[in-house]
Structure 1
Amino acid sequence: MGARMTRPARREAQREGTGREHYLAARVLNALLREDYAGISARVTHDRDGVAIVLASGRRVGLAAGDPFHDFATAPWERLRLAEVLETLRAVADPADAEGVAAFERECGEALAALEAHHRRRGEVARRLRGRHGLIRYESLAATVDHPLYPTARCRLGISPADLAAYAPEFAPEFAMRWTAVPRERVTLSRPGLPGWWPSPGEVGLPSGLARTHVLFPVHPLAEPLVGGIPGLVAGREPYLTVRPTLSARTVEAGERVHLKVPLPASTLGLRNRRSIKPGTLRDGALAESLLCEILAREPGPRVTLADEQTYGHAEHEYLGWLVRGLPEGDIVPVAALLAPLPDADGRLVLHEVAERHHGGDAEALLRDYLAALLEWNVALFVRYGVALEAHQQNLALLFGDGPMRLLIKDNDGLLASPRRLRAAGIATPDFGDERMLTDDPYALADVFVTITLHLAAMAVVHGALPGSAATLVGRALAAALEPYGDDPMARLLRARTLEAARLTGKSMVVAGTLVAKERTGARDVNKFYGTTGPNYLRGA
């Protein structure tokens, strides 16, 4: 029998647990205020005692300025309980949103449970990470950093709290992949043959002759019950290939510099952000990569490398698909990991470790180099080609090898491109299956640039490390990236929407992702729904 917890130790544990609830409750309230869900900002008061919001209970909660993405956010001295925030959410909600509100309450509960579970297992996780090196270590550390804007990102709806430790990247687990044989006539492969490390039927406990008539598909263990219900498949009896989850959870490390993306029966960043794989997105992602390769061939300046995402297969089903991602040589550090605390390192971040290795210990110099590479590339895409990438901090990595640092970019199936601008540049418009990837509206392109490149890839990262100087660093880097384009109309538009704007566009992530049905928001894409604005942290920087 283990030692009983002393009363002081028990009180300390309770305080720590309450602290995590305070943290999550404040993030939830801040998101509701930022997106002004159901007019909740009408509860904000301004008087000689300061700015506050009156909760449904009548409690007055102080608000403060300072966060770059909010006009006002929960003051740091306030201690909120999740229940009182959710009570206020229910009080303001439209009755038509009852289903979405209930789903968001579940997200909140599961996010808190995930935070608590990770805290309980922190020693075990630290021990696992000590035995890991390179990219997969950074992927696990990146998962411990919460999303800058979506408050309940620790929740993966569809993965039970009990399963998180076995499959969520922040717990640094490893597990064996399952496999199923799919009749060959139902299979589409992007390239002839399969990767050399792919198993044979015999290696997953099936008759070897099945290779003539079927193709093996990898299946995440959590998706196995769903795949098992699809007629005509032959489930492998034995697992094959030990893998480790990356930050995205549905993508796993399958080998050295090889990632494998498979469908996952879960939702992240909102109920409607399903982590299955629609077959068309695999082809669209490959076409988007080819488009960017063609642009890079014309643009020798950008320090950019693209992950190889041309190898995939599907069987016209959202749980029967896979992508093999090839990664280049070099030291790869996900941008999302830069703000992650190093285990047992007394407040030091991954950023500091990487700066010591590659920038003489100068973290600010590393961030300036990153901003220059990021913004020069994305401004060139926007101005010259009418392309805006959905390359946020999770889809970007720093690549160190011979020569200057480069950006490594993956997962391009969310980009937005202008056929008219591409034609003017002499580039054929890709035949995307998803028509939402094409637009000639420059304001729609600017919305993606502001909310993804500027907010998430630039400001959130730099502010998390250097809050006092972040706006200046980002503003200067953006101005420098725009300067070569002078009075080009697209450059003028981008300046007007960023450096000169009174306010900056924001995404209503919680509203479109969970709270309000698409029939009510009218959102064609819940990841590109803009219903809010925030302060322009670049003005005067």
Structure 2
Amino acid sequence: MTAPNPDACERALACRVLDALLRENYGNLRRFVDPDKRTLASPDLPPIRLRPHRFLYDFAVEPGQDLGLDDVLRLARHVADPRDDIASFERECRDALATMRLHKRVHPEMLARLDRIPGERRRGPGTYYDTLAAYNDHPVYPTGLARTGLTEQDQRAHAPEFAPSFPLRWAAVPREQVTTTGVKPAWWPSPEDVGLAPAMATTHELFPVHPLSARHVLNHDDVMLAPDARVEVVPTLSMRTVAVAPLTHLKMPLPTSTLGLRNRRTIVPRTLPDGALVERILRLVLDREPGMPVLLADEQTFGHADSPMLGYLVRRFPEVTAHAHVVPVAALLAKAPDGTHVIEQWDVPALFGAYLDVLLRWNVTLFRYGIALEAHQQNVSLVLTGDETPSLLLKDNDGTLIDPDRLAGALGPAADAAAGFADPRMTTRDPEALARVFVTITLHLCAAALAFGLAERGLLPLRTGLAMIRDRLDAALGPEDAFLRSRTLDADRLPTKAMVTAGTLVDKARTGAADINKHYGPPGPNYLRDIEPCS
């Protein structure tokens, strides 16, 4: 179709992008789909073959066609509204393609390097599994590897897939401009440690600054960038969060976008106290749900200077994780140094089943409290200490959605502590809104995406994986969960997100999305129906 012939990376990306545009029905693209012939026939291109699919849309682009990015972008331009930002989306696609090709070149070398890491150093909430996961793309967003505005050199020096280490920069901020809470770690430097006058310790607060953000900090009045770098760190999967000590991570603003142009990796100040408040609410729930194998990172230490480029979050992990395998869900399908997949270090059906047991029981329980977590694959980890049931480790809770009335009804007087979110988008009294988050995050991203991924890799039959999800969700839902059952197991179709539309292509004024991460597209197939139960 396109000329010259696209390479394997481009063909794969072109399929992913077109799949996303079809899922979201961008520009009413589905009008060109002939479901009987299983083709997409647009005026500008030869027919594109489709195959039946059950994840988020009824069809997916059949692989193996000579389909390139130019073809897909031409199609996008054909259906776009003149106001849509096709130019930015094209840059995003080109950035993702460049990263895919870079990954293809360096992945074997990185696997060999990681293979030399001793077993004990692969444990704990470090970066070993994060580095492996960084070579996997997002399960849904087609250009998840794109980091807008960063060069290849920037990524080689600071991105998780290269496992670099680098020292942090530090900025002195006048104390009257600063809001902080919690206890700083012992490794936090003093002004003198980073080349500033010792007297500044009484007038300024030191903020950690990612090296890629240093020039942006200079734009702030009265803020002084320290001359000396201090504290060596290694990037985690999120890149803006770095590992500092065995049980401590540090989150800082980063001047880039991922998962859409509008998904900036800065830190909006109000997200810090809101995320900390959600953590405290979850701890109240856990106090009332004994035996729930869920661990929470401590995110009660943070600071900001009322700027998205001046903020930090200190994340402390429970001691029990120190010698455990702490595996982000995003890493389970990644290639391991021995040529297998990470999940194959364990019994695949047994681990997947045990994970689903905890995941679904926990999130159904939260739904009863009026809570729906936006805890996707990067923010949920399995903590594996032996043969016993894995625990879930949760972090980064600032995207949670909560019904304050249901929470108050479930927690009683303790719910008073849950009042006062700075971001009004974190609360709702609409059960449909809660159900949409449950389905699109817990079911789609954390459960079904794994089942489809395991099947694609030949690790677990798709029917088996989907039946495992259905059976465990059925077991988790009780008589009081009729509404959630009606929106999941018994639903004709399931909600899906329109991430590309809201993230890059169409501005918020036209989508009406108060939160681009909760903007929804056409419903997709219910992959949990019409499958045989399994034991």
Structure 1 residues 200 and 56: CA distance shift in structure 2, 3 A: farther
Distance 1:534 1:24 in 2: 22
Question: Which residue in 1 is equivalent to 2:448?
Answer: 459
Contact 1:140 1:247 (8 Å CA) reproduced: yes
**TM (normalized to structure 2)?**
0.92
- Residue 523 in 1 paired to residue 513 in 2? yes
Distance 1:284 1:520 in 2: 27
Distance 1:67 1:208 in 2: 62
- Residue 129 in 1 paired to residue 114 in 2? yes
Question: Which residue in 1 is equivalent to 2:68?
Answer: 81
Structure 1 residues 455 and 277: CA distance shift in structure 2, 3 A: same
The match for 1:29 among 18, 25, 40 is: 18
Structure 1 residues 67 and 160: CA distance shift in structure 2, 3 A: farther
Contact 2:354 2:389 (8 Å CA) reproduced: no
Distance 1:87 1:479 in 2: 44
Contact 2:248 2:317 (8 Å CA) reproduced: yes
Q: CA deviation at 1:75?
A: 0.8
- 5+ residue gaps, structure 2: 455-459
Question: Which residue in 1 is equivalent to 2:171?
Answer: 180
- Residue 341 in 1 paired to residue 335 in 2? yes
2:301 alignment partner, SS class: strand
Question: Which residue in 2 is equivalent to 1:270?
Answer: 260
Distance 2:484 2:64 in 1: 38
Contact 1:51 1:62 (8 Å CA) reproduced: yes
The match for 1:72 among 55, 59, 83 is: 59
RMSD of aligned residue pairs (Cα, Å): 1.5
2:83 alignment partner, SS class: helix
Q: CA deviation at 1:175?
A: 1.6
Distance 1:517 1:324 in 2: 33
Question: Which residue in 2 is equivalent to 1:171?
Answer: 162
Distance 1:234 1:368 in 2: 52
- Residue 249 in 1 paired to residue 239 in 2? yes
- Residue 448 in 1 paired to residue 433 in 2? no
1:117 alignment partner, SS class: helix
After TM superposition, the structure 1 stretch with the greater mean CA deviation from structure 2, 425-434 or 104-113, is 425-434
Structure 1 residues 432 and 306: CA distance shift in structure 2, 3 A: same
TM alignment of 1:256-335, pairs within 5 A: 256-328=246-318, 329-330=320-321, 331=324, 332-335=326-329
Distance 1:386 1:194 in 2: 33
Q: CA deviation at 1:56?
A: 4.6
Contact 2:439 2:495 (8 Å CA) reproduced: yes
Q: Percent same amino acid at aligned positions?
A: 50
2:73 alignment partner, SS class: helix
Question: Which residue in 1 is equivalent to 2:457?
Answer: none
Q: CA deviation at 1:66?
A: 3.0
Distance 2:277 2:419 in 1: 6
Q: CA deviation at 1:76?
A: 2.3
TM alignment of 1:170-209, pairs within 5 A: 170-191=161-182, 193-209=183-199
1:247 alignment partner, SS class: coil
Distance 2:399 2:365 in 1: 18
After TM superposition, the structure 1 stretch with the greater mean CA deviation from structure 2, 401-410 or 167-176, is 401-410
Q: CA deviation at 1:207?
A: 1.9
Question: Which residue in 2 is equivalent to 1:5?
Answer: none
Q: CA deviation at 1:168?
A: 1.6
Q: CA deviation at 1:313?
A: 0.9
Q: CA deviation at 1:121?
A: 2.0
Question: Which residue in 2 is equivalent to 1:351?
Answer: 343
- Residue 104 in 1 paired to residue 93 in 2? no
- Residue 480 in 1 paired to residue 467 in 2? no
Q: CA deviation at 1:396?
A: 0.3
Cα deviations by residue, 1:177-233 (Å, 9 ceiling, x for unpaired):
111111112111112x52111012222122222212111111011111100121111
- Residue 435 in 1 paired to residue 408 in 2? no
Q: CA deviation at 1:131?
A: 4.4
Question: Which residue in 2 is equivalent to 1:539?
Answer: 529
Q: CA deviation at 1:467?
A: 4.5
The residue identity in structure 2 corresponding to 1:21 is: E
Distance 1:91 1:140 in 2: 39
Ranked by relative contact order (alpha carbons within 8 Å, sequence separation 6 or more), the top structure is 2
Q: CA deviation at 1:462?
A: 2.6
Cα deviations by residue, 1:136-161 (Å, 9 ceiling, x for unpaired):
11011111111111000000112123
The residue identity in structure 1 corresponding to 2:335 is: P
Q: CA deviation at 1:125?
A: 2.1
Distance 1:37 1:20 in 2: 23
Q: CA deviation at 1:464?
A: 1.2
Cα deviations by residue, 1:365-419 (Å, 9 ceiling, x for unpaired):
0110000000001001102x11100011111001123753210001111111111
Q: CA deviation at 1:235?
A: 1.2
Distance 2:113 2:91 in 1: 30
Structure 1 residues 325 and 56: CA distance shift in structure 2, 3 A: farther
1:32 alignment partner, SS class: helix
Distance 1:174 1:273 in 2: 25
Contact 1:417 1:439 (8 Å CA) reproduced: yes
Distance 1:126 1:495 in 2: 43
After TM superposition, the structure 1 stretch with the greater mean CA deviation from structure 2, 254-263 or 463-472, is 463-472
Structure 1 residues 131 and 178: CA distance shift in structure 2, 3 A: farther
1:195 alignment partner, SS class: coil
Contact 2:45 2:71 (8 Å CA) reproduced: no
The match for 2:8 among 5, 19, 23 is: 19
Distance 1:404 1:436 in 2: 35
Distance 1:240 1:130 in 2: 29
Distance 1:32 1:517 in 2: 16
The match for 2:361 among 372, 376, 389 is: 376
- Residue 418 in 1 paired to residue 403 in 2? yes
- Residue 52 in 1 paired to residue 36 in 2? no
The residue identity in structure 2 corresponding to 1:275 is: R
Question: Which residue in 2 is equivalent to 1:366?
Answer: 351
Paired residues in the alignment total 507
- Residue 43 in 1 paired to residue 32 in 2? yes
Contact 1:291 1:430 (8 Å CA) reproduced: no
1:121 alignment partner, SS class: helix
Distance 1:503 1:299 in 2: 32
- 5+ residue gaps, structure 1: 1-13, 356-361
Cα deviations by residue, 1:25-84 (Å, 9 ceiling, x for unpaired):
00000000000001001111244xx21112453311100013522210111232311111
Cα deviations by residue, 1:243-287 (Å, 9 ceiling, x for unpaired):
111111100111111110000011110011111001110000000
**TM (normalized to structure 1)?**
0.91
Contact 1:288 1:430 (8 Å CA) reproduced: no
